[in-house]
């Protein structure tokens, strides 16, 4: 974890300071603490336009960084910066990745095998059937399903992945303390509880403003090897995600639909423009060379050597857990848990992050 994290959080309150301007700030000042406290003239020297620098100087006085940190802890929201090794690798490759992400849940190495699944908020019966059909197959092949938690295709993609015991990730256009739409609050909880994650580049308290959602779509496509548009009208927001995918040099897939239905106009047009038509999951797996993902992930699974290891492994993940919590969850005495963890660490199965906090090591 990087130093001065609260100052990273502070800069995330300024949407006009995106990844490009943030990079100028980071390279110019010796620390983000210095940058946060810098006078107007110094901020201009680092490359900020005068109006943006003036707004920053005025607004930063209203932000209590220590209080914001307390809010994150209270809401159990974690933060990952672009310099952290946990930061999603695919997202780091795009032109303008968020310099900071807020998240709940778990960031997994399996997400390097991700596909964005997006579409209309008002799918036809055909669109619903296709979503369940394709996502169930993709999840069975250990592909992480990325979407935007919106109503319609997005929600159904998340739900299907969870039903198939697959991994799914949602990207929001607002702060993680206020799930939008509100009707999907339970779905967000299900995603987190099924070892998935919800992400946002926006700090706590940020409302779901209309202009946030097209911009967050670059994260949906950026987290993914490709984007699948299942059903979309000519002006659908899902097409924005497809556009970002093309700009990021990622693959675009589309499901052909009824030429007389409005919700097929966007997808059929994508196919005309060169998107790969999809009628089954293997079309995507073949194109992205992902047919062996499930076998690859299965081979990386850790095989327990003892009954105690088998029990403890059930509660270990990439999210740190304290040895006391492991003892409580496993119903094993602390001495047994401690000795088992020591042996597992010697074998490279687990990693001690310090202060008796452990993660699985694969």
Same domain, 217 and 331: no
Mean pLDDT across 141-165: 97
82 near 98, Cβ under 8 Å? Answer: yes
Q: Say how many domains are in the chain.
A: 3
Q: Do residue 311 and residue 279 come from a single domain?
A: no
Report the C-alpha gap between 169 and 192 in whole angstroms: 9
Q: Determine contact, residues 255/278, Cβ cutoff 8 Å.
A: yes
In what side-by-side order are the strands of the sheet with 321-322?
A: 321-322, 357-360, 350-354
List the beta bridge partners of residue 169. 146, 197
pTM over 0.85: no
Domain-embedded: residue 85: no
140 and 283, same domain (yes or no)? yes
Do 271 and 310 sit in the same domain of this protein? no
**Tens digits of per-residue pLDDT, 280-337?**
999 999 999 887 665 555 545 667 889 999 899 889 887 789 999 999 999 999 999 9
Question: How does pLDDT run across 321-362, given as a tens digit for each residue?
Answer: 999 999 999 999 999 999 999 888 887 788 888 888 988 876
Residue 279 counted as domain residue: yes
The verdict on residue 103 lying in a domain is: no
Whether residues 169 and 27 fall in one domain: no
Residue at a domain's end among 264, 295, 326: 295
> What's the half-sphere exposure (Cβ side, CA atoms, 13 Å) at 337?
23
Banded model confidence at residue 1, pLDDT cuts 50, 70, 90: very low
Q: Does 226 score more than 70 pLDDT? A: yes
Give per-residue pLDDT as tens, 211-225. 999 999 999 999 999
Q: What is the pLDDT of residues 122-150, one digit of tens each?
A: 999 999 999 999 999 999 999 999 999 99
Cis, peptide link before residue 181, omega less than 30° from 0: yes
Which CATH number covers residue 116? Answer: 3.40.50.450
Q: Provide the pLDDT for residue 361.
A: 74
Any domain includes 92: no
Q: Which domain holds residue 314?
A: 302-360
Q: Pick the last residue of a domain from 75, 94, 124.
A: 75
Return the closest-CA partner of residue 160 out of 129, 192, 188, 132. 132
Domain boundary among 26, 54, 75: 75
């Amino acid at each position: 974890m990087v130093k001065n994290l609260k100052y990273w959080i502070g800069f995330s309150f300024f949407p006009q300071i995106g990844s490009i301007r943030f990079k100028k700030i980071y390279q110019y000042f010796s620390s983000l603490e210095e940058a946060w406290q810098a006078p107007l003239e110094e901020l201009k020297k680092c490359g900020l336009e005068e109006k943006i620098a003036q707004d920053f100087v005025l607004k930063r006085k209203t932000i209590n960084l220590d209080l914001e940190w307390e809010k994150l802890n209270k809401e159990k929201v974690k933060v990952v910066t672009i310099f952290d090794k946990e930061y999603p690798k695919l997202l780091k490759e795009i032109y303008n990745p968020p310099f900071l992400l807020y998240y709940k849940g778990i960031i997994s190495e399996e997400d390097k095998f991700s596909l964005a699944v997006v579409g209309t908020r008002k799918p036809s019966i055909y669109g619903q059937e296709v979503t369940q059909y394709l996502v169930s197959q993709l999840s069975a092949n250990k592909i992480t399903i990325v979407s935007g938690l919106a109503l319609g295709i997005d929600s159904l993609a998340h739900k299907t992945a969870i039903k198939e015991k697959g991994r799914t990730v949602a990207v929001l256009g607002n702060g993680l303390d206020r799930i939008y739409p509100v009707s999907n609050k339970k779905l967000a909880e299900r995603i987190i509880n099924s070892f998935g994650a919800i992400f946002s580049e926006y700090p706590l308290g940020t409302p779901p403003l209309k202009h946030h959602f097209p911009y967050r779509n670059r994260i949906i496509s950026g987290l993914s090897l490709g984007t699948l548009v299942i059903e979309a009208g000519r002006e659908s927001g899902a097409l924005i995600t497809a556009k970002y995918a093309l700009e990021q040099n990622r693959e675009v897939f589309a499901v052909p639909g009824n030429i007389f239905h409005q919700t097929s106009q966007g997808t059929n047009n994508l196919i005309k423009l060169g998107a790969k038509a999809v009628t089954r999951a293997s079309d995507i797996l073949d194109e992205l060379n992902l047919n062996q993902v499930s076998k690859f992930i299965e081979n990386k699974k850790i095989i327990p050597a003892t009954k105690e290891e088998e029990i403890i492994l059930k509660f270990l993940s990439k999210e740190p857990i304290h040895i006391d919590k492991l003892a409580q969850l496993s119903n094993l005495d602390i001495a047994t848990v401690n000795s088992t963890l020591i042996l597992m660490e010697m074998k490279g199965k687990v990693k001690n992050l310090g202060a008796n906090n452990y993660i699985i090591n694969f």
